[in-house]
């Protein structure tokens, strides 16, 4: 009844190309923003903030980034973990070298540096395609992790080989380090998510997004209608790595606080983010969020049900989780290759007509 577009006419092309053309969606979006910024910080306890909301927000950024590359531009990457590591180590090096500059700028700079590294590893994408490229991105994954593990300059010659985040403040409130209040870290991540999601939406609805999708759908035709394939792909690599780098920086500085590179940014991380976008929906902003939420909530849910209430051993629950994730990937690829985002879209199409379907 409330969800409809009848009577909601667009009189300009500008209105027609807005993000939420349906009034109900628009209101829902503003309500979610209000809830996220003004209500949730007061409601959430520390466990939920640290175990669910902060990782969800950070993974949403990484998923947005990977979705730009895989879902929009069609270039499969298995190097997400490695690029997140670049963001984390760049952030660490910057903030230890220039402690007086605000951490927010360091995080953004870490994104820019990761973008540069991403472009470097994206260069072969002109010559090699599909899963050949996917295997090539494994080179980035293994090389970068090795680099940060073996070259002491990157971890400031610390004895443990780990990097740990010193305390940094935004507006005088600590957002990283041991003293941080969970809601402060949460708000920093939320601000980044909102900004980056909005930018991703803008990029994908305009000329750049069309270039990416043209390359994805048929690269030869794209080139013949005037898209420079190398430039389009490298832009996708750059923007995608920018997002992934910021996610890595946040993952290290706000979420974990201390990082051992092989553990935090190994190939498992690459797959985790890839699974988010497959389950959530390739080529969909909403899907990036849905997938991130799903992959973050699933282990928590499994732990709550299997371990806490049924009393199963933790390692058995972990094995079951692997099976569930693997099976879900296959099920989604078979039944709904566009993921949860498509399910949501279909539900909305039904809703538009409800309760008079004819």
User: By CB under 8 A, is residue 167 in contact with other proteins?
Assistant: no
Q: Which one among 1, 2, 9, 315 touches other proteins, defined by CB under 8 A?
A: 315
- Nearest CB to other proteins, comparing residues 136 and 249: 136
Q: Per CB under 8 A, which region of 52-60, 162-170, 181-189, 210-218 contacts other proteins? A: 210-218
Q: Which one among 101, 132, 156, 349 touches other proteins, defined by CB under 8 A?
A: 132
Q: Per CB under 8 A, which region of 23-31, 125-133, 173-181, 297-305 contacts other proteins? A: 125-133
Alpha-helical regions (H) of the chain: 13-16, 23-34, 40-43, 46-48, 54-67, 80-97, 103-122, 130-150, 182-205, 207-217, 219-224, 229-250, 261-264, 267-280, 285-302, 314-335, 339-353
Query: What separation, in Å, do the N-terminal and C-terminal C-alpha atoms of the chain show?
Result: 14
Q: Per CB under 8 A, which region of 26-34, 55-63, 221-229, 253-261 contacts other proteins? A: 221-229
Answer whether the bond into residue 234 is a cis peptide, omega within 30°: no
Q: What is the C-alpha separation between 269 and 258, in angstroms, rounded?
A: 16
Give the footprint of other proteins on residues 140-159 (CB under 8 A).
141-143, 145-146, 149-151
Minimum distance between the CB of residue 244 and other proteins, rounded to whole angstroms? 16
Q: What is the C-alpha separation between 12 and 273, in angstroms, rounded?
A: 38
Q: Per CB under 8 A, which region of 99-107, 178-186, 286-294, 330-338 contacts other proteins? A: 330-338
- Nearest CB to other proteins, comparing residues 98 and 150: 150
> What does the block give as tokens for 297?
């909530």
Q: Are strands 168-170 and 258-259 parallel, antiparallel or unpaired?
A: unpaired
DSSP 266: S
User: By CB under 8 A, is residue 130 in contact with other proteins?
Assistant: yes
Q: Which one among 73, 165, 222, 295 touches other proteins, defined by CB under 8 A?
A: 222
User: By CB under 8 A, is residue 321 in contact with other proteins?
Assistant: yes
**Is-contact 141 84, C-beta < 8 A?**
no
């Amino acid at each position: 009844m409330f969800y409809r577009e009848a009577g909601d006419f667009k009189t300009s092309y500008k209105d027609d190309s807005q993000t939420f053309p349906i009034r109900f969606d628009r209101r829902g979006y503003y309500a979610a923003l209000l809830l996220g910024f003004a209500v949730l910080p007061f409601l959430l306890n520390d466990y939920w903030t640290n175990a669910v909301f902060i990782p969800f927000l950070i993974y949403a950024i990484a998923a947005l980034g990977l979705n730009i590359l895989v879902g929009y531009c069609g270039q499969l990457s298995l190097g997400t973990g490695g690029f997140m590591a670049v963001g984390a180590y760049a952030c660490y090096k910057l903030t230890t070298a220039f402690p007086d500059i605000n951490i927010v700028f360091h995080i953004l700079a870490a994104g820019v540096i990761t973008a540069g590294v991403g472009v470097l590893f994206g260069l072969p994408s002109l010559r090699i395609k599909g899963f050949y490229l996917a295997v090539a991105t494994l080179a980035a994954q293994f090389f970068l992790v090795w680099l940060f593990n073996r070259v002491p300059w990157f971890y400031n010659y610390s004895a443990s080989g780990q990097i740990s985040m010193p305390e940094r403040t935004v507006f005088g409130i600590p957002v990283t380090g041991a003293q941080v209040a969970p809601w402060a870290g949460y708000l920093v991540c939320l601000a980044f998510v909102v900004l980056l999601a909005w930018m991703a939406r803008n990029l994908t609805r305009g000329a750049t997004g069309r270039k990416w999708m043209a390359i994805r759908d048929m690269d030869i035709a794209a080139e013949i209608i005037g898209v420079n394939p190398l430039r389009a792909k490298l832009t996708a690599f750059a923007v995608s790595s920018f997002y992934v780098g910021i996610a890595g920086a946040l993952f290290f500085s706000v979420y974990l606080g201390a990082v051992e590179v092989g553990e935090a940014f190994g190939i498992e991380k690459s797959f985790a983010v890839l699974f988010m976008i497959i389950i959530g929906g390739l080529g969909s902003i909403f899907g990036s969020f849905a997938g991130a939420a799903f992959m973050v909530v699933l282990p928590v849910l499994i732990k709550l049900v299997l371990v806490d209430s049924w009393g199963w051993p933790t390692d058995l629950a972990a094995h079951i989780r692997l099976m569930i994730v693997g099976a879900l990937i296959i099920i989604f690829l078979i039944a709904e290759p566009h993921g949860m985002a498509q399910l949501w879209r279909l539900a909305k199409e039904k809703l538009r007509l409800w309760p008079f379907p004819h």
